[in-house]
């Protein structure tokens, strides 16, 4: 398997046990927040330090990830948040911390 892109959402909708293995990055935690038996939040560790630096959400419960947050520079603070509104697997709206102060201060939407 090739190294996945940082912004790849990954699989969702499986059981918590299934989500613990075979994922795109090491899994720190998998959660069924609404109690329907299917994972709707996965926390990944991309750099192997045991700390979550990528969190993917299925906010509408359809079994497909649609939101992502990242600590892109591994400093312990989220500096990117993205949402896939149309369900095509690509981020449509993104907020970033462009100046490193811990606040998401730039928002961009797709042109399409």
How far apart are the C-alpha atoms of 20 and 14, rounded to whole Å?
Answer: 10
The residue assigned the tokens 């949402």 is 83
Res. 1: pLDDT tops 60? no
pLDDT (tens digit per residue) in 52-111: 999 999 998 888 999 999 999 999 999 999 999 888 888 899 999 988 888 898 888 875
Domain ranges of the chain: 16-109
How far apart are the C-alpha atoms of 59 and 83, rounded to whole Å?
Answer: 10
| Contacts of 38 by beta carbon, 8 Å cutoff, 6+ apart | 12, 13, 14, 15, 32, 61, 63
pLDDT (tens digit per residue) in 14-61: 999 999 888 888 999 999 999 999 999 999 999 999 999 999 999 988
Structure tokens at 1: 């398997």
**Torsion angle, CA of 98/12/57/25, rounded to 10 degrees?**
-40
């Amino acid at each position: 398997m090739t190294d996945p892109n940082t912004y790849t959402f990954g699989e969702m909708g499986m059981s918590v046990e299934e989500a613990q293995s075979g994922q795109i990055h090491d899994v720190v935690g998998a959660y069924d927040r609404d109690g329907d038996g299917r994972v709707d939040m996965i926390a990944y560790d991309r750099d192997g330090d045991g700390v979550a630096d990528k969190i993917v959400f299925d906010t509408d419960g359809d079994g497909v990830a649609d939101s992502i947050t990242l600590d892109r520079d591994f400093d312990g603070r989220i500096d990117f948040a993205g949402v896939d509104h149309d369900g095509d697997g690509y981020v449509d709206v993104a907020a970033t911390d462009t100046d490193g102060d811990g606040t998401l201060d730039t928002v961009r939407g797709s042109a399409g």
